[in-house]
Amino acid sequence: MVSSIPNARIQAITFPPPPSSPETLSGPAPEIARMNLNEAPGAPSPLVLGAIADALTDINRYPDHDCTALAGIISGRTGVPVDRLSFGNGSGEILVALAMMAINEGDDAIMPSPTFPTCAKGVQIAGGNIINVPLRSDGSNDVDAMLAAMTSRTRLFYLCTPNNPTGGILSQQALIKAATQVPQNCLLVVDEAYFEFAQVEGGPDVLSVLAKRPGPWVVTRSFSKAYCLAGLRVGYSMSSDAEINAGLWRLRPNFNIGRVSLAAAAAAMQDDAYLNETLRNTIAERQQLAAQLSRLDFEEFPSFANFLTVRCPAKARTLHKALAQRNIQVVPLAWPDEQGSLRITVDTPENNARLVEALEEILDAL
Protein backbone atom coordinates (compact mmCIF):
# COMPACT_ATOMS: atom_id res chain seq x y z
CA MET A 1 0.00 0.00 0.00
CA VAL A 2 1.21 3.49 -0.76
CA SER A 3 1.76 5.45 2.44
CA SER A 4 0.26 8.91 2.70
CA ILE A 5 3.48 9.99 4.49
CA PRO A 6 5.75 11.08 1.62
CA ASN A 7 9.06 10.90 3.52
CA ALA A 8 10.26 7.29 3.65
CA ARG A 9 12.45 7.87 6.70
CA ILE A 10 9.56 9.30 8.67
CA GLN A 11 7.41 6.34 7.58
CA ALA A 12 10.08 4.02 8.96
CA ILE A 13 10.49 5.53 12.44
CA THR A 14 9.94 2.77 14.96
CA PHE A 15 10.15 4.53 18.31
CA PRO A 16 6.90 4.37 20.25
CA PRO A 17 5.41 7.38 22.04
CA PRO A 18 5.66 7.52 25.85
CA PRO A 19 3.19 5.35 27.79
CA SER A 20 -0.30 6.76 27.64
CA SER A 21 -1.74 8.22 30.83
CA PRO A 22 -5.00 9.99 29.96
CA GLU A 23 -6.08 12.69 32.40
CA THR A 24 -9.14 14.79 33.05
CA LEU A 25 -8.80 18.52 33.54
CA SER A 26 -8.29 17.91 37.26
CA GLY A 27 -4.85 16.33 36.65
CA PRO A 28 -3.27 12.92 37.25
CA ALA A 29 -5.58 10.30 38.78
CA PRO A 30 -4.66 10.14 42.49
CA GLU A 31 -5.25 6.37 42.75
CA ILE A 32 -2.55 5.59 40.17
CA ALA A 33 1.01 5.27 41.50
CA ARG A 34 3.10 6.67 38.64
CA MET A 35 6.38 4.87 39.26
CA ASN A 36 7.18 4.49 35.56
CA LEU A 37 8.38 7.89 34.33
CA ASN A 38 11.11 8.89 36.80
CA GLU A 39 9.20 12.01 37.76
CA ALA A 40 9.70 13.64 41.17
CA PRO A 41 6.85 12.65 43.50
CA GLY A 42 6.57 16.09 45.09
CA ALA A 43 6.08 19.74 44.17
CA PRO A 44 8.96 22.02 43.20
CA SER A 45 10.33 24.59 45.65
CA PRO A 46 8.07 27.37 47.01
CA LEU A 47 10.46 29.82 45.33
CA VAL A 48 9.62 28.16 42.00
CA LEU A 49 5.89 28.32 42.66
CA GLY A 50 6.26 32.04 43.43
CA ALA A 51 8.22 32.64 40.22
CA ILE A 52 5.53 30.82 38.25
CA ALA A 53 2.83 33.03 39.78
CA ASP A 54 4.83 36.15 38.90
CA ALA A 55 5.38 34.99 35.32
CA LEU A 56 1.66 34.58 34.73
CA THR A 57 1.12 38.34 34.41
CA ASP A 58 3.06 38.38 31.13
CA ILE A 59 1.82 35.26 29.37
CA ASN A 60 0.31 37.30 26.58
CA ARG A 61 3.92 37.97 25.50
CA TYR A 62 6.18 35.46 23.73
CA PRO A 63 9.01 34.21 25.94
CA ASP A 64 12.64 35.42 25.68
CA HIS A 65 13.96 33.13 22.92
CA ASP A 66 17.55 33.73 24.10
CA CYS A 67 16.63 32.48 27.60
CA THR A 68 18.85 35.29 28.87
CA ALA A 69 18.19 34.98 32.60
CA LEU A 70 18.37 31.18 32.69
CA ALA A 71 21.46 31.13 30.46
CA GLY A 72 23.20 33.56 32.79
CA ILE A 73 22.48 31.38 35.82
CA ILE A 74 23.61 28.15 34.10
CA SER A 75 26.75 29.83 32.78
CA GLY A 76 27.55 31.15 36.25
CA ARG A 77 27.09 27.68 37.76
CA THR A 78 28.93 25.63 35.16
CA GLY A 79 31.52 28.06 33.83
CA VAL A 80 30.31 27.29 30.29
CA PRO A 81 29.95 30.54 28.29
CA VAL A 82 26.48 31.49 27.11
CA ASP A 83 27.44 31.02 23.42
CA ARG A 84 27.88 27.29 24.14
CA LEU A 85 24.45 26.77 25.76
CA SER A 86 21.23 25.68 24.10
CA PHE A 87 17.72 25.04 25.39
CA GLY A 88 15.00 22.53 24.62
CA ASN A 89 11.40 21.79 25.42
CA GLY A 90 12.81 19.05 27.62
CA SER A 91 16.31 17.74 27.00
CA GLY A 92 14.72 15.11 24.74
CA GLU A 93 14.18 17.80 22.11
CA ILE A 94 17.91 18.57 22.15
CA LEU A 95 18.84 14.87 21.89
CA VAL A 96 16.80 14.58 18.68
CA ALA A 97 18.30 17.80 17.28
CA LEU A 98 21.90 16.83 17.92
CA ALA A 99 21.47 13.50 16.17
CA MET A 100 19.97 15.34 13.19
CA MET A 101 23.00 17.64 13.22
CA ALA A 102 25.63 14.89 13.53
CA ILE A 103 24.27 12.26 11.15
CA ASN A 104 24.14 12.16 7.35
CA GLU A 105 22.16 9.41 5.63
CA GLY A 106 23.98 6.09 6.04
CA ASP A 107 26.19 7.19 8.95
CA ASP A 108 26.45 5.10 12.10
CA ALA A 109 25.61 6.00 15.69
CA ILE A 110 26.91 3.98 18.63
CA MET A 111 24.43 3.54 21.49
CA PRO A 112 24.47 1.53 24.71
CA SER A 113 21.59 -0.93 25.01
CA PRO A 114 19.23 -0.63 26.75
CA THR A 115 19.30 3.15 27.10
CA PHE A 116 17.10 6.24 26.77
CA PRO A 117 15.72 6.02 23.20
CA THR A 118 15.29 9.65 22.17
CA CYS A 119 18.74 10.27 20.69
CA ALA A 120 18.32 7.12 18.58
CA LYS A 121 15.01 8.52 17.31
CA GLY A 122 16.96 11.52 15.97
CA VAL A 123 19.34 9.10 14.24
CA GLN A 124 16.36 7.46 12.49
CA ILE A 125 14.99 10.84 11.43
CA ALA A 126 18.40 11.63 9.90
CA GLY A 127 18.58 8.27 8.08
CA GLY A 128 21.47 6.86 10.11
CA ASN A 129 22.12 3.36 11.42
CA ILE A 130 21.96 2.57 15.11
CA ILE A 131 24.64 0.23 16.46
CA ASN A 132 23.47 -1.09 19.84
CA VAL A 133 26.17 -2.18 22.29
CA PRO A 134 25.07 -4.18 25.37
CA LEU A 135 25.59 -2.63 28.82
CA ARG A 136 28.06 -3.98 31.32
CA SER A 137 26.58 -6.39 33.85
CA ASP A 138 26.34 -3.60 36.46
CA GLY A 139 24.04 -1.57 34.15
CA SER A 140 26.61 1.04 33.10
CA ASN A 141 27.67 1.87 29.53
CA ASP A 142 30.42 -0.45 28.21
CA VAL A 143 32.82 2.13 26.76
CA ASP A 144 35.43 -0.46 25.66
CA ALA A 145 32.85 -2.46 23.71
CA MET A 146 31.34 0.73 22.28
CA LEU A 147 34.77 1.91 21.08
CA ALA A 148 35.37 -1.51 19.54
CA ALA A 149 32.05 -1.22 17.65
CA MET A 150 33.06 2.04 15.91
CA THR A 151 33.14 2.04 12.10
CA SER A 152 34.62 4.48 9.57
CA ARG A 153 31.11 5.99 9.30
CA THR A 154 30.48 6.52 13.01
CA ARG A 155 29.54 10.17 13.56
CA LEU A 156 27.71 9.97 16.88
CA PHE A 157 28.70 8.28 20.14
CA TYR A 158 26.00 8.45 22.81
CA LEU A 159 26.71 7.90 26.51
CA CYS A 160 24.14 8.08 29.29
CA THR A 161 25.31 8.47 32.89
CA PRO A 162 23.50 7.55 35.09
CA ASN A 163 22.06 5.27 32.41
CA ASN A 164 18.30 5.10 32.04
CA PRO A 165 16.80 2.43 32.51
CA THR A 166 19.47 0.83 34.72
CA GLY A 167 20.89 3.61 36.91
CA GLY A 168 24.59 2.75 36.47
CA ILE A 169 27.22 5.48 36.12
CA LEU A 170 30.40 5.73 34.08
CA SER A 171 33.69 5.61 35.94
CA GLN A 172 35.93 8.64 35.54
CA GLN A 173 38.44 6.39 33.69
CA ALA A 174 35.82 5.09 31.23
CA LEU A 175 34.74 8.64 30.50
CA ILE A 176 38.34 9.77 29.93
CA LYS A 177 38.79 6.86 27.55
CA ALA A 178 35.73 7.87 25.54
CA ALA A 179 36.76 11.54 25.54
CA THR A 180 40.23 10.74 24.23
CA GLN A 181 39.49 7.80 21.88
CA VAL A 182 36.28 8.87 20.13
CA PRO A 183 37.75 10.48 17.00
CA GLN A 184 37.41 14.15 16.11
CA ASN A 185 35.00 13.44 13.26
CA CYS A 186 32.51 11.99 15.73
CA LEU A 187 30.20 13.91 18.09
CA LEU A 188 30.43 12.60 21.66
CA VAL A 189 27.13 13.07 23.50
CA VAL A 190 26.76 12.61 27.25
CA ASP A 191 23.18 12.54 28.53
CA GLU A 192 23.21 13.70 32.15
CA ALA A 193 19.47 13.86 32.87
CA TYR A 194 20.22 12.60 36.40
CA PHE A 195 23.34 14.76 36.86
CA GLU A 196 22.29 16.24 40.21
CA PHE A 197 21.79 12.79 41.78
CA ALA A 198 25.08 11.40 40.46
CA GLN A 199 26.97 14.50 41.55
CA VAL A 200 26.19 13.90 45.23
CA GLU A 201 26.88 10.16 44.93
CA GLY A 202 30.38 10.19 43.46
CA GLY A 203 29.56 10.29 39.74
CA PRO A 204 32.19 11.37 37.16
CA ASP A 205 32.97 15.05 36.60
CA VAL A 206 31.80 14.98 32.99
CA LEU A 207 32.33 18.64 32.10
CA SER A 208 35.93 18.81 33.29
CA VAL A 209 36.85 15.57 31.47
CA LEU A 210 35.21 16.75 28.24
CA ALA A 211 36.92 20.16 28.49
CA LYS A 212 40.16 18.34 27.60
CA ARG A 213 38.68 16.49 24.60
CA PRO A 214 40.06 17.73 21.25
CA GLY A 215 36.91 16.69 19.33
CA PRO A 216 33.29 17.90 19.49
CA TRP A 217 30.95 17.08 22.39
CA VAL A 218 27.56 17.96 23.82
CA VAL A 219 26.26 17.37 27.36
CA THR A 220 22.49 17.46 27.99
CA ARG A 221 20.73 18.03 31.32
CA SER A 222 17.12 18.29 32.42
CA PHE A 223 14.84 20.12 34.85
CA SER A 224 12.43 17.16 34.79
CA LYS A 225 14.04 14.99 37.45
CA ALA A 226 15.88 16.53 40.43
CA TYR A 227 14.20 19.94 39.96
CA CYS A 228 10.67 18.46 40.00
CA LEU A 229 9.60 20.24 36.78
CA ALA A 230 8.73 17.41 34.36
CA GLY A 231 5.41 19.04 33.50
CA LEU A 232 7.02 22.28 32.36
CA ARG A 233 9.46 20.76 29.84
CA VAL A 234 12.88 22.42 30.15
CA GLY A 235 16.26 21.00 29.25
CA TYR A 236 19.61 22.51 28.33
CA SER A 237 22.84 21.55 26.65
CA MET A 238 26.47 22.57 26.87
CA SER A 239 28.63 22.18 23.75
CA SER A 240 32.36 21.98 23.11
CA ASP A 241 32.29 25.08 20.90
CA ALA A 242 30.09 27.88 19.64
CA GLU A 243 29.80 26.34 16.15
CA ILE A 244 28.20 23.10 17.38
CA ASN A 245 25.97 25.22 19.59
CA ALA A 246 24.94 27.37 16.62
CA GLY A 247 23.89 24.17 14.82
CA LEU A 248 21.58 23.32 17.71
CA TRP A 249 20.15 26.85 17.65
CA ARG A 250 19.35 26.51 13.91
CA LEU A 251 17.27 23.43 14.71
CA ARG A 252 15.61 24.95 17.80
CA PRO A 253 11.94 25.72 17.18
CA ASN A 254 11.15 29.41 17.77
CA PHE A 255 10.10 30.21 21.34
CA ASN A 256 10.31 26.52 22.30
CA ILE A 257 10.33 27.14 26.05
CA GLY A 258 7.35 28.94 27.51
CA ARG A 259 7.66 32.00 29.70
CA VAL A 260 6.33 30.19 32.79
CA SER A 261 8.76 27.29 32.26
CA LEU A 262 11.73 29.64 31.89
CA ALA A 263 10.86 31.49 35.09
CA ALA A 264 10.41 28.21 36.98
CA ALA A 265 13.72 26.74 35.78
CA ALA A 266 15.66 29.89 36.70
CA ALA A 267 14.11 29.96 40.19
CA ALA A 268 14.73 26.22 40.70
CA MET A 269 18.44 26.69 40.05
CA GLN A 270 18.58 29.38 42.70
CA ASP A 271 17.16 27.25 45.50
CA ASP A 272 20.03 24.90 46.41
CA ALA A 273 18.58 24.12 49.83
CA TYR A 274 15.45 22.68 48.21
CA LEU A 275 17.45 20.76 45.61
CA ASN A 276 19.64 19.25 48.32
CA GLU A 277 16.62 18.26 50.35
CA THR A 278 15.07 16.59 47.28
CA LEU A 279 18.30 14.70 46.61
CA ARG A 280 18.67 13.62 50.25
CA ASN A 281 15.06 12.44 50.55
CA THR A 282 15.09 10.62 47.24
CA ILE A 283 18.33 8.78 47.95
CA ALA A 284 17.23 7.80 51.47
CA GLU A 285 13.90 6.56 50.13
CA ARG A 286 15.64 4.65 47.32
CA GLN A 287 17.91 2.88 49.80
CA GLN A 288 14.95 1.97 51.97
CA LEU A 289 13.01 0.66 48.97
CA ALA A 290 16.02 -1.42 47.87
CA ALA A 291 16.29 -2.94 51.35
CA GLN A 292 12.57 -3.82 51.38
CA LEU A 293 12.76 -5.37 47.91
CA SER A 294 15.86 -7.41 48.75
CA ARG A 295 13.84 -8.94 51.59
CA LEU A 296 11.52 -10.22 48.79
CA ASP A 297 14.49 -11.63 46.84
CA PHE A 298 14.79 -8.80 44.33
CA GLU A 299 18.39 -7.85 43.53
CA GLU A 300 19.20 -4.21 42.92
CA PHE A 301 21.57 -2.91 40.27
CA PRO A 302 23.71 -0.05 41.56
CA SER A 303 21.61 3.08 41.00
CA PHE A 304 22.74 6.70 41.11
CA ALA A 305 19.40 8.24 40.15
CA ASN A 306 15.80 8.65 41.33
CA PHE A 307 14.85 5.13 40.27
CA LEU A 308 15.80 1.60 41.08
CA THR A 309 16.25 -1.30 38.67
CA VAL A 310 15.88 -4.74 40.17
CA ARG A 311 16.28 -8.32 39.01
CA CYS A 312 13.11 -10.17 39.87
CA PRO A 313 12.36 -13.49 41.59
CA ALA A 314 9.62 -14.05 38.92
CA LYS A 315 9.16 -12.96 35.32
CA ALA A 316 9.31 -9.15 35.17
CA ARG A 317 6.45 -9.00 32.65
CA THR A 318 4.18 -10.99 34.96
CA LEU A 319 4.94 -8.71 37.90
CA HIS A 320 4.48 -5.60 35.76
CA LYS A 321 1.04 -6.77 34.67
CA ALA A 322 -0.08 -7.71 38.17
CA LEU A 323 1.10 -4.33 39.49
CA ALA A 324 -0.72 -2.50 36.68
CA GLN A 325 -3.94 -4.25 37.71
CA ARG A 326 -3.43 -2.68 41.13
CA ASN A 327 -2.88 0.77 39.60
CA ILE A 328 0.86 0.71 40.21
CA GLN A 329 2.84 1.57 37.08
CA VAL A 330 6.45 0.42 36.65
CA VAL A 331 8.58 -0.44 33.60
CA PRO A 332 9.44 -4.04 32.69
CA LEU A 333 12.85 -4.52 31.01
CA ALA A 334 13.98 -7.40 28.82
CA TRP A 335 17.38 -7.11 30.48
CA PRO A 336 19.78 -8.59 31.58
CA ASP A 337 18.25 -11.98 30.77
CA GLU A 338 14.98 -13.70 30.01
CA GLN A 339 13.63 -13.21 33.52
CA GLY A 340 14.00 -9.46 32.96
CA SER A 341 13.98 -6.70 35.52
CA LEU A 342 11.75 -3.85 36.71
CA ARG A 343 12.55 -0.16 36.66
CA ILE A 344 10.83 1.50 39.58
CA THR A 345 10.75 5.27 40.15
CA VAL A 346 11.31 6.24 43.77
CA ASP A 347 8.01 7.79 44.81
CA THR A 348 6.41 8.99 48.05
CA PRO A 349 6.97 6.82 51.15
CA GLU A 350 3.28 5.83 50.90
CA ASN A 351 3.50 4.66 47.29
CA ASN A 352 6.82 2.91 47.86
CA ALA A 353 5.25 0.96 50.74
CA ARG A 354 2.19 0.24 48.59
CA LEU A 355 4.45 -1.21 45.88
CA VAL A 356 6.33 -3.45 48.32
CA GLU A 357 3.10 -4.71 49.85
CA ALA A 358 1.61 -5.40 46.41
CA LEU A 359 4.71 -7.30 45.26
CA GLU A 360 4.64 -9.38 48.43
CA GLU A 361 1.03 -10.38 47.75
CA ILE A 362 1.65 -11.00 44.06
CA LEU A 363 4.67 -13.23 44.73
CA ASP A 364 2.79 -15.16 47.42
CA ALA A 365 -0.02 -15.91 44.97
CA LEU A 366 2.25 -17.13 42.15
Ligand X SMILES: *Cc1c(COP(=O)(O)O)cnc(C)c1O
Residue numbers at the binding site for ligand X (CB under 6 A): 38, 90-92, 116, 160, 164, 191, 193, 222, 224, 230, 235
Nearer to ligand X, 192 or 359 (CB): 192
Nearer to ligand X, 196 or 362 (CB): 196
Please give the helix or strand (H or E) that residue 326 lies within, else none. none
What is the nearest approach in angstroms of ligand X to the Cβ of residue 29?
A: 21
Residues 189 and 158 sit within 8 Å (Cβ to Cβ): yes
Q: Work out the end-to-end distance of the chain between its first and last CA atoms, rounded to an integer number of angstroms.
A: 46
Helix-helix angle 118-126:91-102, to 10 degrees: 30
C-alpha span between 40 and 28 (Å, rounded): 14
What is the nearest approach in angstroms of ligand X to the Cβ of residue 329?
A: 15
H helix intervals, the chain: 8-11, 46-55, 68-78, 91-102, 118-126, 143-148, 172-181, 195-200, 206-210, 242-251, 259-269, 272-295, 316-325, 349-365
Q: Is 244 exposed, middle or buried (0-12, 13-18, 19+ CB in 10 A)?
A: buried
Nearer to ligand X, 232 or 322 (CB): 232
- What is the dihedral sign for C-alpha 67, 68, 74, 78? positive
Nearer to ligand X, 342 or 362 (CB): 342
What is the nearest approach in angstroms of ligand X to the Cβ of residue 191?
A: 5
Tally of helices (H runs) and strands (E runs) in the chain: 14, 13
Torsion of CA 67, 71, 232, 203, to 10 degrees: 160
Give the CB-nearest residue to ligand X: 90
Helix-helix angle 46-55:272-295, to 10 degrees: 130
Nearer to ligand X, 107 or 191 (CB): 191
C-alpha span between 2 and 195 (Å, rounded): 45
Nearer to ligand X, 343 or 354 (CB): 343
What is the nearest approach in angstroms of ligand X to the Cβ of residue 91?
A: 4
Nearer to ligand X, 232 or 319 (CB): 232
What is the nearest approach in angstroms of ligand X to the Cβ of residue 225?
A: 6
What is the nearest approach in angstroms of ligand X to the Cβ of residue 219?
A: 11
What is the nearest approach in angstroms of ligand X to the Cβ of residue 3?
A: 29
